[in-house]
Structure 1
């Protein structure tokens, strides 16, 4: 799956543009789930590795290549594909969406970006004799100018001694093909966790950016507001100040920064 961040449209040109996180989906042209939206993907050939297959499918279905991509998880529930037994290896990619010409592949009508909203609306902890059970329900809303998709995913984590098991199940889903709502939920959780201790977020940023723009991206991914002073202290080693300024109309120019690839060694 491919995530990007884009500016929201603002009617008032003097107002700073907000940001929204977007997910790329393809509309299925074939059965099963014809007409529904799915994550880009395909089957592994006998003469290629899983990584090679992921890159090939990324290019063929979306016209995107040479971007940050990491393997997430392997999904192997029985009957997750109504045609036959399918085991899927999911990947997450992060990209500046303005740099690529997105297109659909042979088995899709077309590809499009969807705004992502992610909300934990129910949490519960149960203490049993020999285990702890943590349950939460997550609502995912994916919206574009054409369509709005929704799903609720329930996550159950069981801790017995030093052993932990996690189960995800789709409570309901509208417009999202296969079990892809579970895969999307897992990817968002991973992204939220990783931006706290890695530089992964900079794959979503242009080469030059303001600190306010960077903070907005952190906030929309984490789902909460951050104190500007504390945020700037936290990311100070990861950015390098330039001598350039933003040229947005309607408000004062801001200093531009770039990613510091050597921040881990400072």
Structure 2
């Protein structure tokens, strides 16, 4: 087999930043590392790219191994290649972030990796440069959510307007005027009001809504910008 002569081989890894939303707050899915170095410390789910798979295929494999999920929203974030990022061997890591509905898929998590959901505000220290990966993923998600309805990947099929407001407020760590937020939300025409209510949070209850999938797909790029000047919310 033909190879380039005089070149040093390096490892390529994939790390998955898995975000979830439980109806009230955002969480990050972490595992306890099962081998040295940094054994039993908290880590993103990751692994090495195998010779027979692409980087995207490796990311999807790793996500499925941990959550049992396929065909969820996931996109490539950034390549991390600092010389000393892994103390064992020179390893270049390609980071991805994924969005999943916690309530729907929590029972499918693999027990092998001791996976646990952590609220953003209670996140433990992570190994290597994984903390930097998470902050960059938050930044990307905040910016994209201001332009497209990407956050609906985190919600169940039926949801309430208070849940939607909590979804946006939690990501941007701010508070929006309820009446103004609901008015902008419904003006998109993307939502179908249901007959039933969620009465868990109050006696009066809040009507459930569903996303109109046909309009969602055709108007994805034209989604109303809920967050003006999203750059002010970005982490620096």
TM-score higher than 0.5: yes
- Aligned CA distance change for structure 1 residues 46 and 260 (closer, same or farther; 3 Å): same
1:146-225 paired onto structure 2 within 5 Å? 149=124, 175-225=125-175
Asked if structure 1 preserves the Cα contact closer than 8 Å seen for 2:34 and 2:40, the reply is yes
The equivalent residue for 1:37 is: 42
SS at match of 2:119: strand
The equivalent residue for 1:232 is: 182
Which contiguous aligned blocks of 4+ residues in structure 1 show a shift greater than 6 angstroms? none
What CA deviation, in whole Å up to 9, does each residue of 1:98-146 have, x standing for no partner?
22211244xx4x11000102xxxxxxxxxxxxxxxxxxxxxxx41xxxx
The equivalent residue for 1:247 is: 199
Asked if structure 2 preserves the Cα contact closer than 8 Å seen for 1:211 and 1:232, the reply is yes
SS at match of 1:244: strand
- 1:221 to partner: Cα distance: 0.6
The equivalent residue for 1:20 is: 25
- 1:235 to partner: Cα distance: 2.1
Q: Tell me, which stretches of 5 or more residues in structure 2 are unaligned?
A: 1-16, 223-236
Asked if structure 2 preserves the Cα contact closer than 8 Å seen for 1:208 and 1:258, the reply is yes
The equivalent residue for 2:118 is: 114
SS at match of 2:77: strand
- 1:254 to partner: Cα distance: 1.5
- 1:203 to partner: Cα distance: 0.6
Structure 1: how far apart are the matches of 2:96 and 2:119?
19
- Aligned CA distance change for structure 1 residues 220 and 241 (closer, same or farther; 3 Å): same
The equivalent residue for 2:21 is: 5
Normalized per residue, the structure richer in strand is: 1
- 1:244 to partner: Cα distance: 2.4
Structure 1: how far apart are the matches of 2:79 and 2:183?
37
Structure 2: how far apart are the matches of 1:41 and 1:249?
37
Normalized per residue, the structure richer in helix is: 2
- Aligned CA distance change for structure 1 residues 89 and 249 (closer, same or farther; 3 Å): closer
RMSD of aligned residue pairs (Cα, Å): 1.7
- 1:216 to partner: Cα distance: 0.8
Structure 1 range deviating more: 231-240 or 92-101: 231-240
